[in-house]
Amino acid sequence: MSGTHRAATERSQRVFAGGSRQSSRILERGLHAQVVHTLGRDIVDGTLATGQALIPDDLCSRFAVSRSVIRESLRALESLGMVSARPQVGTRVSAEENWDLLNPQVVLWRGEGTQYLRQMHELLELRLGVESAAAELATQRITAEQVDALASAAEAMAAAAQAQDAEGFLEADVSFHDILLRSSGNAIMAQFADTVGAVLRTRSGDTGHTIHDRTGRSIANHRQLAAALRDRDADAARRWARTIVQETLTEFSDRTPRAASL
């Protein structure tokens, strides 16, 4: 297993596992998370095709786990719209149009493989509208603490870029957009912050460089947005929020999909 996929599996385990004081329950949940992660990736990359039946006995053999682990795993995938269970038909892989495409876990799986660039384009197009609107709302609703946190996140991006710390840069970028969306005061936009965070983190496995010749301009744009929110300038905030996302969309526009890491 590659380092990227090992980290992704650990993130999946945190999403699905939860805490427990009983070691046997922890083991069960750990197995469950591994099964869910593997099946989720198989569905996303087409190894398990739309309409394909998922036979519990076959899955028990494949993963060397109990039927209860398989049942729990399939229920988790069903909650994400990735499989459907019906009497007399059994559990089958659902078409992509039924998946919960904004769920951070689905975003993670799509971002690991050949759907990486496609998903980036889709979510960047969505972010063009959402983050512009969030920035405008935030000029009315952002708190002094959030203004300071936003400015700090922009400076953390700059410091990470100077140090060529790609992981630190991504985490600061995630923090910036999380604060932006939550400072809108809109509960739905605040939830979208988790989706944005997930898609930004998929860049950690990108074959391209996270820090590159456009990074300096991106940092300047983030600083301009933070300043517009500090000044409660709605027109400027909306403009800079859109500029940030549009320039990232342009960055990805000429790229070809990366191959899935196996």
pLDDT the model gives residue 253: 81
Indicate if 86 and 199 belong to the same structural domain: no
Domain tally for the chain?
2
Q: 38 φ, ψ to 5°?
A: -65, -45
Cα-trace Rg, the chain = 20
User: Is 107 part of any domain?
Assistant: no
Indicate if 39 and 137 belong to the same structural domain: no
Residue with tokens 């960047």: 124
Indicate if 156 and 228 belong to the same structural domain: yes
Q: 165 φ, ψ to 5°?
A: -100, 90
Expressed as residue numbers, the domain containing 80 is 3-98
Give the global pTM.
0.82
Distance CA 180, CA 178 (A): 5
pLDDT the model gives residue 29: 57
Question: pLDDT by residue (tens digit) across 72-112?
Answer: 999 999 999 999 999 988 999 999 999 999 999 999 999 99
Are 113 and 260 spatial neighbours (Cβ–Cβ below 8 Å)?
yes
pLDDT the model gives residue 4: 41
Q: What is the mean pLDDT of residues 46-59?
A: 96
Q: How confident is the model at residue 31 (pLDDT cuts 50, 70, 90)?
A: confident
